[in-house]
Chains A and B, each alone.
Chain A
Amino acid sequence: MNQQTLPTVNLSQTLRQALVGVQYGALVAGCFLMLRTPFMQLDLSVLLVFILGTAIAAVIHTTLALSIGNICQGRLDRLDERERATRDQAFVLAFQILTGVLSVLWFYGMMAGLLGWWLPAASQFWVLLWGLGMLGYGLPTAIAAFKMPSGVNE
Chain B
Amino acid sequence: MTQSKITHNRQSRRQVVLIGYASVLVALVAALLDPRTSQPLLSVFFNLVRTAAVVVSLIHLFRLLNPKLMGTSDGPDHDLDERQLQTRNQAYVTAYRAMGGVLILLSTAVLLWSAFWSLPRLDIGVVVALIYSAVMLVATLPSAVLAWIEPDPIGE
Contact = CB atoms under 8 A, between A and B. Distances in A.
Interface string B77-109: 000000000100110110110011001101100
A94 B119 CA distance: 31
B138 interface: yes
Given A39-B114, A126-B107, A126-B114, A137 B100 contact: yes
Q: Interface residues of B: mostly helix, strand, loop or mixed?
A: helix
Contacts of A94: 96
Interface residues of B, number: 33
B99 A98 contact: yes
Contacts, number: 83
Interface residues of A, number: 28
Contacts of A95: 92, 95-96, 99, 141-142
Interface in B96-132: 96, 99-100, 103-104, 106-107, 110-111, 114-115, 118-122, 124, 127-128, 131-132
Contacts of B44: none
Given A95-B142, A105-B131, A130-B107, A122 B120 contact: yes
Nearest to B85: A88
Contact of A125 (B103, B119, B128): B119
